[in-house]
Structure 1
Amino acid sequence: MSADASLAIQQPSTAAGSPGASVDAREHPPVRLLFSALLLVMLLAALDQTIVSTALPTIVGELGGLEDLSWVVTAYLLTSTIVVPLYGKFGDLFGRKVVLQAAVVVFLLGSALCGLAQNMTQLILMRALQGMGGGGLMVVTMAVIGDVIPPADRGRFQGMFGAIFGLATVIGPLIGGFLVEHLSWRWIFYINLPLGILALSVISAVFKPRAAHIKHQIDYAGAAFLATTLTCIVLFTTQGGVTLPWSSPQLWFTLAFGLVALAGFIYEEGKAAEPIIPLHLFKERTFLLSCLIGFIIGTSLFGSMTFLPLYLQVVKNSTPSQAGMQLLPMMCGLTISSIVSGRIISRIGRYRVFPILGTLLASIAMTLLSTLDNDTPVTHLYVYIGLLGLGLGMVMQVLVLAVQNSVHFKHIGVATSGTTLFRSIGGSIGVAAFGAAFSSGLHARLTRSIPPGTVLPHSMGPDGVHHLPEAVRQLYLHAFGGALHVVYATAASVIVLAFLLAWLLQDVPLRKKH
């Protein structure tokens, strides 16, 4: 059991009866303050995944490197994915508080250095450092809730986390657009500093776990194998057909090396004393299905949502702040469905229907988004992304709740991180794969349609597109729309798999005790 897990469990007594007595949240006096601090940390993590989106065109316009656009997002997702299971394990072994504080410090250091970046390479590297901290923010906060609140009461808390994620989905691009227009894109990273310092202060004052000294064995070999696997897979999906042709031996060697590392990771986890992800968890149906569904959701969501602000600015001539405001319907849908589904789950004690309905709505929304073209009214886009938000709000936090309800209490940290890990892996692969597909599709269409000898600006941000000669600009927008159609059509077909898997979930009644 983790160093701080005991704060959440009522010690058995003659009155209580047997071990496993129900959780008494009052044993951790400032539960409301603690939950507020966790919401602040969750906002910090979720905000950084969305605040960058509307600034990407401006960043490319200043630093150049359109071909590396997806890496600004991919670098963060890749490193945050790699460290997720480590944070889950470290939280179980050393206690959530110190691990959470360390994650916030690393995240803030990366944020400050991102704001100081002078070229695209520096920005990508610092985003990777930022991700090493950001990977721990979400998973540790969700694990703390798993420590403190029993599953039967956890639905409404997880619903609030979902609402915070939805809030960040919109205020992130909105704040990002405002800062880009009125200050500089660098402030989208600097704004993390006061929020992070406030979060650190509240956590230090409020979160007081009981200390316990345990002898630990960290699975460093497993961590190295996992990092190698994920890096190789993301490099393969990013470079294939873009920087390297599909026939390149180097490209396929990268994939082969990643598969060998994956085999090494599986072998290491089978014999490690304290594995990062205990393999026996995959024998539990709920955990396995939640990981697979989370992977698919991450692939389709993060992989495709990166392009919405770009579409609004390039095709609809929106400013960065307007593009952020135009994502408001998605936040509304996600917030409403997260809170409502969380409360219903806490009331009825069952959850299976929500992932089924949520993935259905999300697949319909992605299909509708695949119909976007240059003449689609923005009001249609509002309906599509609002529907997508409603669907996602019924899935993401519910999967974490289902997993925490199905595993032994001592594995809450690694089970939570495992579910988050697969969603993050999906996001990393999705951003890389869809980014590569979009870039190669756009390039191929431009090669076919743009007259020979036409010189396009090196940095094709929204301003560069709008200053093209009218005939060339129309050809560019047509090629842009065609490449975008492929992205959303693929995302729609992928998310249908999540809908089919959701039917296999078992509707296990939520435990009222740990």
Structure 2
Amino acid sequence: MAQEVRAPHTGGGPGGPGGPGPGEGQSRRSVVVAMGALLLGMLLAALDQTIVSTALPTIVSELGGMEHLSWVVTAYMLASTAATPLWGKLGDQYGRKRLFQAAIVIFLIGSALCGIAQNMPQLIGFRAIQGLGGGGLMVLSMAIVGDLVSPRERGRYQGLFGAVFGATSVLGPLLGGLFTEHLSWRWVFYVNLPIGIVALFVIAAVLHIPVRATRHRIDYLGTFLIASVATCLVLVASLGGTTWEWGSAQIIGLCVLGAVLLVCFVYVERRAAEPVLPLQLFRIRTFTLVSVISFVVGFAMFGAMTYLPTFLQVVQGVSPTMSGVHMLPMVVGMLLTSTGSGQIVSRTGRWKVFPIAGTAVTALGLLLLHRLTGTSSTWEMSVSFFVFGAGLGLVMQVLVLVVQNAVSYEDLGVATSGATFFRSVGASFGVAVFGTIFTGRLTRNLEDALAGQDLPPGAGPDQLAADPRALAGLPPDLRPAVLDAYATSITDVFLYAAPVVLVAFVVAWFLKEDPLRVSVTAPDPSQTLASNPVERSSYDECARALSVLGSREGRKAVYEKITARAGLDLLPASSWLLLRVRRHGTVEPARLAEATPVPLRVVTEAARQLEERRLVAREGIQLVLTEQGARTAVRLDTAREDSLSELLGDWWGPDRPTDLVKLVEELTAELGGCDAERPRSPEPPRDHQA
């Protein structure tokens, strides 16, 4: 979580001194090709969060160690969570292209090693290497968008990255099942290699972004300490009651170590120049409550997604591919309600109902999952999966919106990444807790089911718990009892998770529904479906939200609004043209139409209306302001400032940050179209022209 430096943005924002702005000097084709390579990089990280789930039962069967299943997921999550803030800071400091290439290489090395792993400890270690690279792919690909394109286009391109997340949520389980069933589970990891190599070569050839070094005081110690605290928590959750007794010296030692490290973390963060998680955010009640809810959402979401494929493949007896198909209702429910709730909140400004309803529906979904058995119908499972996914979707988008709305502009980026950080830690913790409950229950249930039975060699409770394939060696009359033991062990996990989600339901009632800033808009799926913390600066978050103003529809809406606010009866294009004439002194309509996206017909009609109203006059082929036109343009200019003030709320106060002023200036210039036909006026713009 990068702490904001209140200085002009030099990475993803307006060009710094002596450097070109985003996208300048690059052809449209090179930008599109570079975006394709970035999308491939994002695809690698996004796919790896979902493709492994349906392969896990097969991996465990081949490598053994059902009790270690959770760590295949947790190792990746912990490593990517810890690495994400470092990648963001290092990219600012040393250039994002090289760092992005390094992240791809690390990710590919981890993928290749995962594919050749011979036992579970090896696979878990190699997954951590993968996670280190995956964290970089996530944060740097989104940051490079800001280096390549102007703020006006940023939302559209970042929307593509969100679409990749949505697609991989659906395709990941299916592809994981297909590879596992028809090739080998190892191809779940090998598939990354050709994609990553293509991305590496394309990035090297076509990605040309200026390196503007931004000096950071990187909080290495804080990053190490928070990762260590999270690891201690997860170790206690995954090893307590299984590998070691809860009262054992090892578990007590881990608890004490985690507490000591947490105290050290608080001490370090109080003194860090750029803390990885600024403690002052916890003084904001909304941020603290959202962090708790985010933790619980991550806990439930990734815990369930990890163990549902095991239920489907072992208990229901479906193939890996079909287990991916069976999980689609959950993903569809999540995507539908996540997108829908975000859009509704952005339009209505009302949001409190969604965290409350979302946590309630999620708890209901967990109770429905608990009721599943080996004889449950496909229809019954699909409804349960859909309800669970719909509940998660209702709350995920809204949490990011709420926390962005609660903080000042300076903390916008770090608050967003802070909220998603707690979801990532919750995901790691949830997978570990689910694993502990499942392993403990499975061993006991199998012992009860097989007590006094004459078992064939290699088919004892311990063997059956470690390798589901041992079921094939059981006599037919014993299989139903063993399958029931597996079903009960997995579904009991969902029952124990329901009260945890109800805690979030209670916490959600204490959220205060502050009016939503108009500039806070629904985040893309990369901020809600990913397990990694999102790392964007305040500038990038604001640019993404405001980028809608630069679209053709957005530009028209802006000029309709400021025309009405100024009390004028003009076409939106006429207001636009009048402000351009005021800005440049003179404008030639034909050249203006050539240099901007506005059609000549629209420019001509606007010019005719301005001449008829005597707001402009002709000097040859040039338009110039009349005295009446100058007064009208001032009214429009004031209305534009008022509209921006309303849009940005208290962010646009007297002490507004320099990078926000630059962003608004750049977007305002783009609202008028491309300025290629005439240089900017040399006079420094007044604040109200921003």
TM-score, reference length from structure 2: 0.65
CA contact (8 A) 1:70 1:432 kept: yes
Q: Hey, what does 1:218 align to over in structure 2?
A: 218
CA, structure 1 residues 203+284, in 2 after alignment: closer, same or farther (shift >3 Å)? Answer: farther
CA, structure 1 residues 91+26, in 2 after alignment: closer, same or farther (shift >3 Å)? Answer: closer
Distance 2:8 2:164 in 1: 25
Distance 2:472 2:437 in 1: 23
CA contact (8 A) 1:162 1:397 kept: no
Q: Which amino acid aligns with 2:517?
A: P
Residue of 484, 493, 507 corresponding to 1:487: 493
1:364-390 deviations in whole A, cap 9, x for unaligned?
212211111122112111112122222
How far did 1:233 drift? 1.3
Which structure is higher in RCO with an 8 Å CA cutoff and minimum separation 6? Answer: 1
CA contact (8 A) 1:292 1:422 kept: yes
How far did 1:131 drift? 1.2
Q: Which amino acid aligns with 1:480?
A: Y
How far did 1:291 drift? 2.2
Q: Hey, what does 1:509 align to over in structure 2?
A: 517
The equivalences for 1:260-279 within 5 A come to: 260-279=260-279
Structure 2: unaligned runs, 5 residues or longer: 520-545, 547-647, 649-659, 661-690
Q: Hey, what does 1:282 align to over in structure 2?
A: 282
Secondary structure in structure 2 of the residue aligned to 1:394: helix
Alignment coverage as a number of residue pairs: 502
Q: Hey, what does 1:420 align to over in structure 2?
A: 420
How far did 1:159 drift? 7.2
The equivalences for 1:28-427 within 5 A come to: 39-91=39-91, 93-94=93-94, 97-141=97-141, 164-200=164-200, 210-348=210-348, 351-407=351-407, 411-427=411-427
Residue 478 (structure 2) pairs with residue 475 (structure 1)? no
Residue of 459, 478, 482 corresponding to 1:456: 459
How far did 1:27 drift? 7.2
CA contact (8 A) 1:367 1:489 kept: yes
CA, structure 1 residues 241+468, in 2 after alignment: closer, same or farther (shift >3 Å)? Answer: same
How far did 1:399 drift? 2.9
CA contact (8 A) 1:238 1:433 kept: yes
Q: Hey, what does 2:594 align to over in structure 1?
A: none
Q: Kindly report the root-mean-square deviation, in angstroms, between the aligned alpha carbons of the 2 structures.
A: 3.4
Distance 1:398 1:456 in 2: 48
Distance 2:65 2:348 in 1: 52
CA, structure 1 residues 462+158, in 2 after alignment: closer, same or farther (shift >3 Å)? Answer: farther
Residue 443 (structure 2) pairs with residue 447 (structure 1)? no
CA contact (8 A) 1:51 1:172 kept: yes
Distance 1:291 1:149 in 2: 32
Range 65-74 or range 391-400, more displaced: 391-400
Residue 502 (structure 2) pairs with residue 499 (structure 1)? no
How far did 1:355 drift? 3.4
Q: Which amino acid aligns with 1:481?
A: A
Structure 1: unaligned runs, 5 residues or longer: 13-23
How far did 1:496 drift? 2.2
CA, structure 1 residues 10+250, in 2 after alignment: closer, same or farther (shift >3 Å)? Answer: closer
CA contact (8 A) 2:10 2:212 kept: no
How far did 1:50 drift? 1.6
Distance 2:440 2:108 in 1: 34
Distance 1:404 1:97 in 2: 28
1:106-141 deviations in whole A, cap 9, x for unaligned?
222211111111222211110111111223333455
Distance 2:194 2:204 in 1: 15
1:30-64 deviations in whole A, cap 9, x for unaligned?
68777766554443223212211221222122222
Distance 1:149 1:407 in 2: 25
Secondary structure in structure 2 of the residue aligned to 1:471: coil
CA contact (8 A) 2:269 2:278 kept: yes
Q: Hey, what does 1:438 align to over in structure 2?
A: 438
CA contact (8 A) 1:88 1:416 kept: no
1:391-435 deviations in whole A, cap 9, x for unaligned?
333333443344445545555553343222211111111111110
CA, structure 1 residues 424+57, in 2 after alignment: closer, same or farther (shift >3 Å)? Answer: same
Distance 2:226 2:354 in 1: 31
Compare CA radii of gyration and give the structure with the larger one.
2
Q: Which amino acid aligns with 2:84?
A: V
1:342-364 deviations in whole A, cap 9, x for unaligned?
44445446654443433333222
CA contact (8 A) 2:299 2:423 kept: yes
CA, structure 1 residues 490+374, in 2 after alignment: closer, same or farther (shift >3 Å)? Answer: same
Q: Hey, what does 1:16 align to over in structure 2?
A: none
Distance 2:272 2:392 in 1: 36
Range 125-134 or range 335-344, more displaced: 335-344
CA contact (8 A) 1:79 1:131 kept: yes
CA contact (8 A) 1:335 1:393 kept: yes
1:173-216 deviations in whole A, cap 9, x for unaligned?
21111111221111100111233334445666776554323333
CA, structure 1 residues 475+239, in 2 after alignment: closer, same or farther (shift >3 Å)? Answer: same
CA contact (8 A) 2:65 2:467 kept: no
Q: Which amino acid aligns with 1:334?
A: M
